[in-house]
Structure 1
Amino acid sequence: MYVILVYDVEQERVAKVCQFLRRYLNWVQNSAFEGELSEAQLERVKLGLRDIINEERDSIYLYILREARWVRKEVLGQIRGETENIV
């Protein structure tokens, strides 16, 4: 499945969240990641983030699509992160 994840966390947790997400997804913008995940990987991401964030102060939005082909992405301006998977 294709996942777009955006987050707004307090400053003291930003680096930890970013470092964790880089293990699973592609960084595309400040506080934004995207990429292909299996169901098991998605569950690991959600569990890992719950351990890092303060659910009363931080927020994470996950947009989950069955396949990347259903996403039409347009970038205006500078591309900040590489989103293509290397085979």
Structure 2
Amino acid sequence: MKTVEWEFNSDMKHYHSLYRIGLTIAELKKIVAVQLKILFFVPFALAVLHSLFAMLAIAEYEVFILHKRLILLEKCFIYIENKAK
């Protein structure tokens, strides 16, 4: 909890310094909005991208497994068919 308080106080000092230099409240709000968008959007975008690649890899793996099962089933069918003759 101390870290959050320290970061908050540090951020407040930083924004107060920017305000004293001459940035308007609207400009400060824009800076904060951009920082928050980066803070939340980048991890979300990476998670979506990671999930997409994971789903593609799983789909490829399932197709491979399904293909192997179909070949095994086909071999069993041919074996049973030849035994019946």
Bucket of the pairwise TM-score, normalised by the shorter protein = under 0.3
> Which has the larger Rg?
2
The alignment's TM-score, normalised by the length of structure 1, stands at: 0.27
Higher RCO structure, 1 or 2 (CA under 8 Å, sep 6+):
1
The alignment's TM-score, normalised by the length of structure 2, stands at: 0.28
Higher strand content, 1 or 2: 1
Higher helix content, 1 or 2: 2
